[in-house]
């Protein structure tokens, strides 16, 4: 009798292990096919640059292609909606930025919720923005730009990567703190915004460091200031906006990877561990440094807490500045 009971319990336990084995084994073998990383902006922007840097290394180390899929539109919300509806199997990921923390409190209607519909994987990097002007523009300092804007209210335009983007918010914060009236011109990503600046479509722009620095170094655009509260090591001669007459001004852009809610924990943990390893590679750190980016890494839980804090911060800013988008 005892043997029969033990045999039945043992068989039951074996069945439970067997039922769980395919899920665990599948997660351990992940990935077994190409993985898509959705990016909500056109190629050449900061989100795209960071996504491609990580995708290349993941492809090399995990033996499957990690493919960047650019789906620009609605300030990256189109790609986020697609990712939110994707199967939570780890084969569709989303590269997010501070834009997604901004969108939640700023847009009246969104078809997704960045906190509810996704699970954090890892924060990849943190970068400043640069206040830049086209090569044909006469302004050599922030104060010269402010003086011109005050002399010609509503006549000078600045470009950003889209309505509600971090560049847009940086520009609105600049307008408020400097007491000037600039026209906002939204593009479908930081890359197109930089090209528009070079072509003379807009005289002023706010661009993230990965986009701006190569153009600054080549002389195709000119930097007036950096948006963080410290100078950037890649551009040490460029003053901060706080140093340029706007004390207290600070705006940082960040990028990270998330997956649709319900993704197997083993899959997100494997991606987190691998990207943490990648961010420590000398060639990756060198590449990021050349773009003015700081690699971040850390746990998924840390990234989730940071997203929550950023949403709350921009909710306060949107209320204070009365920033609402349809």
Domain boundaries in the chain? 33-127+252-321, 128-226
Burial class (CB in 10 A: 0-12, 13-18, 19+), 282: exposed
The rounded distance, in Å, linking the Cα atoms of 145 and 48 is: 30
State how far Cα 125 lies from the chain centre.
Answer: 8
Asked if 185 and 211 count as a contact pair (C-beta separation under 8 A), the reply is no
- What is the β-pairing status of strands 157-160 and 222-226? unpaired
Closest among 120, 152, 125, 122 to 139, alpha carbons compared: 152
**pLDDT of res. 219:** 95
**pLDDT of res. 27:** 61
- R_g of the chain, CA atoms, integer Å: 23
**pLDDT of res. 184:** 95
**pLDDT of res. 74:** 87
**pLDDT of res. 174:** 94
Do 128-226 and 33-127+252-321 have the same topology in CATH?
Answer: yes
* pLDDT tens per residue, range 278-301: 999 999 999 999 999 999 999 999
**pLDDT of res. 319:** 85
> Strand ranges (DSSP E) for 236-315?
252-260, 294-295
The rounded distance, in Å, linking the Cα atoms of 132 and 142 is: 10
**pLDDT of res. 15:** 39
**pLDDT of res. 10:** 41
Per-residue burial over 95-133, b = 16 or more CB atoms within 10 Å of its CB, e = otherwise:
bbbbbbbbbbbbbeebebebbebbbbbbbbbbbbbbbbb
- Collapse the DSSP code of 277 into the 3-class scheme (helix H, G, I; strand E, B; otherwise coil) and give the result: helix
**pLDDT of res. 21:** 38
* pLDDT tens per residue, range 70-99: 999 888 999 999 999 999 999 999 999 999
The rounded distance, in Å, linking the Cα atoms of 9 and 5 is: 6
Whole-number Cα distances in Å, 112 to 84, 98, 137, 247, 270: 7, 16, 41, 36, 25
The rounded distance, in Å, linking the Cα atoms of 65 and 60 is: 8
Q: CATH number of the domain at 33-127+252-321, please?
A: 3.40.190.150
Q: What is the pLDDT along the chain (326 residues), one digit of tens a residue?
A: 333 333 343 443 333 334 443 444 456 799 999 999 999 999 999 999 999 999 999 999 999 999 999 999 888 999 999 999 999 999 999 999 999 999 999 888 899 999 999 999 999 999 999 999 999 999 999 999 999 999 999 999 999 998 888 999 999 889 989 999 999 999 989 999 999 999 999 999 999 999 999 999 999 999 999 999 999 999 999 999 999 999 999 889 999 999 999 999 999 999 999 999 999 999 999 999 999 999 999 999 999 999 999 999 889 888 877 778 77
Q: CATH number of the domain at 128-226, please?
A: 3.40.190.10
Asked if 145 and 116 count as a contact pair (C-beta separation under 8 A), the reply is no
**pLDDT of res. 26:** 57
């Amino acid at each position: 009798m005892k043997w029969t009971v033990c045999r039945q319990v043992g068989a039951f336990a074996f069945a439970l292990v067997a039922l769980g084995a395919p899920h665990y084994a599948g997660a351990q073998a992940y990935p077994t096919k190409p993985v898509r990383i959705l990016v909500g902006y056109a190629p050449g922007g900061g989100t795209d640059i960071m996504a491609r840097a990580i995708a290349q290394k993941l492809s090399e180390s995990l033996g499957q292609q990690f493919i960047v899929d650019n789906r620009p539109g609605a300030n990256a919300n189109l790609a986020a909606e697609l990712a939110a509806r994707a199967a939570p199997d780890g084969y569709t990921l989303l590269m997010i930025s501070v834009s997604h923390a901004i969108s939640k409190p700023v847009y009246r209607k969104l078809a997704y919720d960045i906190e509810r519909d996704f699970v954090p994987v890892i924060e990849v990097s943190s970068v400043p923005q640069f206040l830049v002007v086209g090569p044909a523009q006469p302004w050599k300092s922030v104060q010269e730009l402010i003086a011109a804007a005050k002399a010609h209210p509503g006549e000078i335009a600045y470009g950003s990567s889209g309505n509600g983007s971090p560049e847009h918010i940086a520009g609105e914060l600049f307008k408020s703190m400097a007491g000037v009236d600039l026209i906002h011109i939204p593009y479908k990503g930081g890359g197109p915004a930089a090209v528009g600046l070079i072509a003379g479509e807009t005289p002023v722009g706010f661009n993230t460091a990965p986009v701006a620095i190569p153009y600054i170094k080549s002389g195709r655009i000119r930097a007036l200031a950096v948006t963080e509260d410290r100078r950037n090591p890649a551009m040490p001669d460029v003053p901060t906006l706080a140093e340029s007459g706007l004390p207290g001004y600070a705006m940082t852009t960040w990028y990270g990877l998330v997956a649709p809610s319900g993704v197997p924990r083993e899959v997100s943990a494997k991606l987190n561990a691998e990207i943490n390893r990648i961010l420590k590679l000398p060639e990756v750190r060198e590449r990021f440094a050349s773009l003015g980016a700081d690699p971040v890494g850390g746990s998924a839980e840390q990234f989730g807490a940071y997203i929550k804090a950023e949403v709350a911060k921009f909710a306060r800013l949107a209320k204070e500045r009365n920033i609402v988008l349809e």
